Chain A
Amino acid sequence: KNQVEQSPQSLIILEGKNCTLQCNYTVSPFSNLRWYKQDTGRGPVSLTIMTFSENTKSNGRYTATLDADTKQSSLHITASQLSDSASYICVVSALGASKIIFGSGTRLSIRP
C-alpha cells in the first residue's frame, strides 16, 4: 500500500534554532518527492522536488535530503525564523500510476 508518514506530528522550537523534519514512504515505483510549506489559511507552496537520483537539494535555508534505498527524506531548516511557522507536507508521486500521496504534515511553530 502506498503510504507517506511524517514525523514529528508537531514541533516547537526557538527562533534561530535548526530543526529536521522526517518523511518515510512506501510508494512504489517511485517518481519524485516534494516538500510543501503551507501557511495557515493558504494553499501549499512547493519548496523542493527530488527524483530518485538526487540526494540533496537546497532552497535558501531549507535543505531536503533523499535516500531512495531506505525510502526516507528529511527537510532541514537552518536558523529558523518566525515566518517558518507553518505545516510542512511531504508528497510522493508514483511512476506510471495516477497517484500523488500526501503525508499528514508536520506543524512547526517558531517561538521568539
Chain B
Amino acid sequence: DAGVIQSPRHEVTEMGQEVTLRCKPISGHNSLFWYRQTMMRGLELLIYFNNNVPIDDSGMPEDRFSAKMPNASFSTLKIQPSEPRDSAVYFCATQLAAYRERSNSGANVLTFGAGSRLTVL
C-alpha cells in the first residue's frame, strides 16, 4: 500500500485564490481526518469523516474552508478565498476504525500523509 497520498506537496498562491488540497486514504480505512499544522498552534483538527460522512467539522476555522469526501477513496479540502494566515502544512490522516474504541490495535493508529505545504502570499 502506498499509504495516505496527498497532493499537491507544495502550493504557493496569491491571496484571494482558491486552493484545493486532495487526499487519497489507505484502502479500507473508513475514518479520514484533515489537520492543519503551524509553528504557533501545532496540529489542529479541522474536520473528521467516518464512512464518508462528516462527523465533526467544529475545527474548520470559517466558511472559507470546506471539505468533501464523495467516496471512500478521495477527499478534498478547499479554501476559497485564501488568505495569508491560511499558510500552513495541511495533513490528511486515516485510520481503520472510528476512534471511539478502547483499543490498542493497529486499527486505532492514525496514518498521516506527507502533507501539503501551502503558502499564501
A residues at B contact (CB < 8 Å): 31-32, 34, 41-46, 49-52, 54, 89, 91, 93, 95-98, 100, 102-105
Contact at A89–B113, with CB atoms within 8 Å? Answer: no
Q: How far is the CA of A45 from the CA of B108 in the complex (A)?
A: 13
Partner of B104, one of A32, A91, A103: A32
- The interface centre, meaning the residue of B42, B55, B110 with most chain A CB atoms within 10 A of its CB, is B110
Partner of A31, one of B91, B99, B109: B99
Query: Contacts A43-B115, A100-B110; is A89 near B43 (CB within 8 Å)?
Result: yes
Contact at B101–A46, with CB atoms within 8 Å? Answer: no
- Residues from chain B with Cβ under 8 Å of A96 in the complex: 100
Contact at B100–A104, with CB atoms within 8 Å? Answer: no
Q: How far is the CA of A102 from the CA of B100 in the complex (A)?
A: 16
Contact at B45–A31, with CB atoms within 8 Å? Answer: no
Interface residue? B19 (CB, 8 A): no
- Residues from chain B with Cβ under 8 Å of A89 in the complex: 43
Q: How far is the CA of A45 from the CA of B91 in the complex (A)?
A: 12
Contact at A51–B45, with CB atoms within 8 Å? Answer: no
